[in-house]
Structure 1
């Protein structure tokens, strides 16, 4: 009984591309890769037996940016061909790791002296939020973060805010100061008249308790606007 010669295994066309991309990352750093290429490297670990370049490009096309993709809910991620529930869960884990890392940065030192870290955290948390959300960063006497709490959920253009509830919570946490944060889902971070009036009302309610409002930040895809920098506080 004779056996024929075994056909040599042909390496998938994308395997060499994976090797080159990994090598580029390791030798030249992430700055040498395009956004979609960095996303490819991450997807390689999640999807080991498929060309992930088209998937990475499809994710970028659908969500517009890496931050938009990481902020997307799993129900939207799985609409992209090649992304199942498992991969969607992995991508959300990456997003949560990014969020927690940003939160660690503002917990390590006084929030108001770590401005770039604070802005990065606010953008990570809120710039792609589809509904308006009002949050308060409660700070101690050293201006270190005690808690970051959502004080109001809303619609695409409004989140109810109750100044006396914010004051009550600040007293419970023994906060000495706070930073107000909310988002504009439209992307335009220009403060509205209602935003300005509400900020003034919160400041007035907290004043008898010697609790300071350091700033009010509005986040959106256009960036972050500071009331203090704009001369509104």
Structure 2
């Protein structure tokens, strides 16, 4: 049966408008994005099938173009639309974070770092450069690959901090495994960078590890 023949309260779009997006399932949210189904399947039926095929909504959202487009009902146009939606979300989070001091909006920082780093298949090491009032100046990915004390160079971090005229910074890197527990190398690297930055009068405020769930704050654990 077509969705337009469903009771009004069961249609995803109408449910969203009446009750808000939080009440919708992953498949219902995806169905609104898809707009139409395929022969013999409504948009909701197709969405349920896709979530099942990918294993989760997150896996679908993070799929590359080749993996995305090999599934029923998905093609380059839908992939482009999805990437635009995801990028708008990331830019929204960036603007939200930049309005206030990073220390006054810790959840905004966490949300932004999740959006930027959680989906990356390889480790990336990034910096949020902050001014004297801890407002965001810039976000930069500085290193890629395995992040440890040997592959992240304090000199490069200091160079970029001085170039951005930063008074403070927040480090972050992702764990593709999804586990946010810092390794001994993570903690050693953080100590080395903190000591190096002190020589140029730049404060290291935190080091977030991004994985599944909420990013781990090393400052909150007393490791900075």
Q: Structure 1 unaligned segments of length 5 or more: list them.
A: 1-11
When structure 1 is superposed on structure 2, of 20-29 and 165-174 the one drifting more is: 20-29
Aligned to 2:182: 191
CA deviation digits over 1:111-156, x for unaligned, max 9?
Answer: 121011111111111122110000000001110111100000115x
Q: CA deviation at 1:35?
A: 1.7
1:38 aligns with 2:44: no
Q: Which deviates the most, 61-70 or 210-219?
A: 61-70
How far is the alpha carbon of 1:89 from its aligned partner? Answer: 0.8
Q: Which has the larger radius of gyration?
A: 1
Q: TM-score, normalised by structure 2?
A: 0.89
| Residue-by-residue CA offset, 1:191-221 (whole Å, 9 max, x unaligned) | 0011111111111111111100000000001
Cα deviations by residue, 1:35-58 (Å, 9 ceiling, x for unpaired):
2101111110xx477622233223
CA distance in structure 2 between the partners assigned to 1:109 and 1:68 by the alignment: 32
Name the SS for the 1:223 alignment partner: coil
Residue of structure 2 equivalent to 1:166: 157
Indicate if the aligned counterparts of 2:37 and 2:73 stay in contact, CA closer than 8 A.
Answer: no
Give me the TM-score of the superposition, normalised by structure 1: 0.86
Q: Counterparts of 1:144 and 1:58 in 2: how far apart (Å)?
A: 44
Show CA shifts across 1:43-90 (max 9, x none).
10xx47762223322332244444443232222211221111111111
2:5 to 13, 16, 20: 16
In structure 2, what is the equivalent of residue 181 of structure 1?
A: 172
The alignment covers a number of residue pairs equal to 219
1:160 shift after superposition: 2.7
With 194-203 and 119-128 compared, the bigger mean Cα shift is at: 119-128
Match of 2:205 among 203, 214, 220: 214
Show structure 2 runs of 5+ residues with no match: none
CA contact (8 A) 1:74 1:85 kept: yes
